[in-house]
Amino acid sequence: MSLKKVPLLRMVTGLLAFLLLPVSAVTVELKYMCYDTIECAAFKQLMPQFNAKYPDIKVQIDIVPYKAVRETLPVQLAAGTGPDIAAVTDPGGLSRYYLDLSPYIDVHYWQASFGDVLDWYRDKSVYGNGRFNQGVTDIGIYALQTQLTLTGAYINKTLFEQADVAIPAIGSSWSEWAKAAKTVAKKTNTYSPMALDRSGHRLMGPIISSGAKVFDGNSVALVDQGFKTFVEQFVGWFEDGSMAREVWAVGGATYKDAKREFVNGEVVLYFSGSWQVKPFDAAIRGAFDWQVIGSPCGIGGCSGMPGGNGLVGFKQTKHPAAVAKFIDFFAQENIYQQLLSLTHNIPAHKAVADEGVDYVGLSAVAAKALGSWTAEVDKISPIAFKLQGYKYNRALFDIVAKRVTQAVVGELTVQQAMQRSKADLNKALKNMN
């Protein structure tokens, strides 16, 4: 071997080593579409633990607006593109694209930990596919419920004290709460007694509590006496000034909340959901006292609508095992506990819920509020639970929001709004089935 050839050989060997080294260090790269900034930050914070366990899996967390998850993700999935993992809020709507994690995970652990929530994500579950039990049972596991949310109400306790009005007892009806809120608003010259987020999902909790059955055997009835009772009451609140008009007097399927109004002390009772605890804690600080009252009651119970984020993998991924490893890692009790302590949400994991979450950096008021929300979980009506897993619930929610808005602004009577809701839902189901 000549002297000239020695450095050349070294160079070639070195180059090969350089090229091959990264391949063995990072073999898989996954993309995770995340929209909830608080949750995304929590995932990023916990990633070093995941990377320590799985150094060969690199996960890129792409933070996107919620609109991208709602509008762009379905198009990407239909075209066979899109991320490997995403956080979704429409469990049934995208179910046909979900990766079944069961071949890669401890199915018994998952079933014991997440139980019935797993059914929301199943395409051919008893009610998940909209065709209602045609003898096909899907027992796959598709998602990690990273947070369980619940709709319900908050009150501005300070305004009640200033008005010297007794806070109605937990379990009071909508009428009792409305009457109290109206008195408080009048005495304290507050802008609006009540506000309810403009969303079909938010409206369905009170509707179910008013006795609506929503489902009729093997089909969705939607409109019944319970539904009509609450919508009539709801529209009436706008007519007598009990409800904040600016939240509902908008157009299209636009979602609108009244978070700003509540934080500014302009609303006595605000019906929204458990996810507001952290923002309220940060924004209100000590400006006034607030508390969770959950869902006011009716003949159908005191139920809110459950919801939250599901971490799902998609079938089109080239690395199903890595995707499952990532999701399964965050489903483990100690990691899930850490995740929830950062995101400040209600746990969907049974053992974590039983044990209680040690929420990091949360005030005593907010911690108490989260405790109240956790207690509300037991009040969820089976109808509300079933509706959350219904494959076409997004269509139902949008239709309800649109048509009830028309009744609120006087374009339709409540009766006409009911008829139109039913017709719209039939049209939607015809197009989706």
Partner 1 sequence: MVLAQLLVSVYKNEGFNMISNIMRIVEMPMLLFQKHFGVRNVAWLFLAPNLILFGVFALLPLLLNIAYSFTGGGEILLGDRTYIGTENFSVLLQCESYLDPQSCTEDLFWRAVYNTLKFVLFQVVIMVGFALTTALILNKKIIARGFFRSVFFFPVLLSPVVVALIWKWILQRNGLLNAGLDYMGFEKVLWLLEGDLAFAWSVFVSVWMHMGFYTLIILAGLQAIPKDVYEAARMDSASPFRMFHRITLPLLMPTMMVVFLLAVIKGVQTFDEVYALTGGGPGTTTTFIIQYIYETGFAGSPRLLGLAAAVSLLLALALVVLTAAQSLAKKRAT
- Contact status: 189 vs partner 1 (CB under 8 A): no
Give the span between the Cα atoms of 215 and 398, in whole angstroms.
17
Query: Is 300 near partner 1 (CB under 8 A)?
Result: no
What is the C-alpha separation between 318 and 222, in angstroms, rounded?
A: 40
Cα–Cα distance list, 269 to 22, 60, 233, 273, 279 (Å): 57, 40, 16, 12, 17
- 237 is an interface residue for partner 1 by CB under 8 A: no
Figure out which of the listed residues 79, 166, 169, 364 binds partner 1, where binding follows CB under 8 A: 79
Q: Could you give the CA distance from residue 338 to residue 342 in angstroms, rounded to a whole number?
A: 6
Q: Which is nearer to partner 1, 332 or 406 (CB)?
A: 406
| 145, 381, 405, 421: residue in contact with partner 1 (rule CB under 8 A) | 405
Regarding 2 and contact with partner 1 (CB under 8 A), the answer is: no
- Amino acid 115 reads G
Q: Which is nearer to partner 1, 302 or 418 (CB)?
A: 418
Q: Which of 394, 414, 418, 421 binds partner 1 (CB under 8 A)?
A: 394
Please tell me whether residue 415 binds partner 1 under the rule CB under 8 A: no
Please, what is the angle between helix 277-284 and helix 364-376, to 10°? 160
The single residue among 47, 68, 253, 283 that binds partner 1, judged by CB under 8 A, is: 253
- Nearest partner of 109 among 149, 141, 148, judged by Cα: 141
Nearer to partner 1, 75 or 360 (CB): 75
Residue 251 touches partner 1, criterion: CB under 8 A:
yes
Question: Does residue number 392 form part of the binding site for partner 1 (CB under 8 A)?
Answer: yes
Q: Residue 132 CB, nearest distance to partner 1 (Å)?
A: 18
Sheet of 143-145: strand order equals 57-63, 28-34, 85-88, 310-313, 143-145
For residue 415, the minimal CB distance to partner 1 (Å) is 12
Given a contact cutoff of 8 angstroms between Cβ atoms, the answer to whether 379 and 303 are in contact is yes
Helix 225-239 vs helix 200-209: crossing angle, to nearest 10 = 120
416 contributes a contact to partner 1 by CB under 8 A: yes
Size of site (CB under 8 A) for partner 1: 32
Under rule CB under 8 A, residue 239 binds partner 1: no
Any contact of residue 75 with partner 1 (CB under 8 A)? yes
User: Please, which residue, 114 or 248, has the CB nearer to partner 1?
Assistant: 248
Give the Cα separation of 305 and 377 in Å (integer): 10
Residue 165 parent element (H or E): none
Q: Exactly one of 213, 245, 315, 350 binds partner 1 (CB under 8 A); which one?
A: 245
